[in-house]
Each structure stands twice: as C-alpha cells, then as structure tokens.
C-alpha cells in the first residue's frame, strides 16, 4: 500500500483521542466525528470526547489479514457498543481470542495499529481491552 502520511497526520486527533459527534437535535452519538447527523440530518452537531468504556457487541477472529497488519495475526476485531450509545469497530487487545464473548466489558487503550511503507511508518490509534476486575473504579 502506498504511504499516506498526510492522511495519517490528519486523522491523528480522531485516532488518539476517540472523538465522537453528538447531535444536539436528536441526541444521537456517532464515531468518528462528522458534520451532519446521520439520524436526523441536522448540522447542529458537537464534538465530544468519548468515555472509552463499553461492551463487545459482535466480534470476529482474523487469520487472513490485509497487508501491513501481519504482525498482529491472529487478532480480534469487534463492534464495541460504547456507553454513549455509539458503535465502533476496533481491535480487542491484551486478550486470548477464545476469551472474547458478546457482552464482554471493554475499555479503550492506545496501541500500534500497523506498520507500512519502505521506512516502516507506524500508525497508532485506539484499541479496546477487557476491563480488569477491580480496575474500573480507578478509570
């Protein structure tokens, strides 16, 4: 894949801070931020910082993966239902694939996404991991 440094630079805030768009009209929250609410069409949308807590809504384990993701094989990708109501696609990390179930409580962490290009350009961003027992109170 061709190196896309401007795109990776442009998307840093989204990938590093887990931002969402909340509609002031209907209240819907979506990730990533976007200028118009997909629920009601309002452009009265504010950017919010998401809590990063939620639970696994669906998941899969990937063995045959796209180029530049080989280092992580196998990995779990999930749809996570965030506390704020939005769904988000993300990898689940710090876990054995067979430990993941629908409903598993998870929290956001900052990790390496992939490495690509001749110079080994590294892209970082959000992933989720199981909430450690007894750790939730300190978040």
Give the three-class secondary structure for 37. coil
Q: Is 109 in the site for other proteins (CB under 8 A)?
A: no
Of the candidate spans 43-51, 80-88, 129-137, the one that interacts with other proteins by CB under 8 A turns out to be 80-88
The entry of Zn ion, other proteins, none near residue 86 (CB within 5 to 8 angstroms by kind) is: other proteins
Measured from the Cβ of residue 118, the count of other Cβ atoms closer than 10 Å reads 6
Q: Among 38, 83, 94, 122, which residue interacts with other proteins (rule: CB under 8 A)?
A: 38
> What mask, x for binding Zn ion by CB under 5 A, covers residues 9 to 48?
--------------x-xx-x--------x-xx-x------
Torsion (CA) 47, 49, 52, 57 in degrees, nearest 10: -10
Angstrom distance (rounded) from CA 1 to CA 70: 13
Residue indicated by tokens 């009601």: 40
Q: Which of 80, 17, 90, 91 is nearest to 47 (CA)?
A: 17
Residues numbered 101 to 120 that lie near Zn ion (CB under 5 A) are none
Binding-residue pattern over the window 13 to 32 for other proteins, x denoting contact by CB under 8 A: -x---------------xxx
* Residue partners of 38: CB distance under 8 A and separation at least 6: 28, 30
Is residue 96 involved in binding other proteins (CB under 8 A)? no
- Residue 124 binds other proteins (CB under 8 A): no
């Amino acid at each position: 894949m061709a190196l896309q440094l401007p795109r990776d630079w442009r998307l840093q805030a989204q990938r590093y801070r887990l931002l969402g768009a909340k509609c002031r009209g209907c209240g819907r929250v979506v990730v990533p931020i976007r200028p118009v609410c997909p629920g009601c069409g309002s452009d009265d949308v504010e950017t919010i910082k998401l809590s990063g807590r939620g639970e696994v809504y669906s998941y899969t384990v990937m063995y045959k993966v796209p180029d530049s993701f080989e280092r992580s094989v196998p990995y779990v990708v999930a749809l996570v239902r965030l506390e704020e109501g939005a769904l988000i696609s993300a990898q689940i990390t710090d876990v054995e694939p067979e430990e993941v179930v629908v409903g598993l409580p998870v929290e956001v962490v900052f990790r390496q996404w992939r490495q690509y290009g001749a110079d080994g350009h590294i892209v970082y961003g959000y992933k989720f991991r199981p909430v450690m027992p007894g750790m939730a109170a300190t978040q």
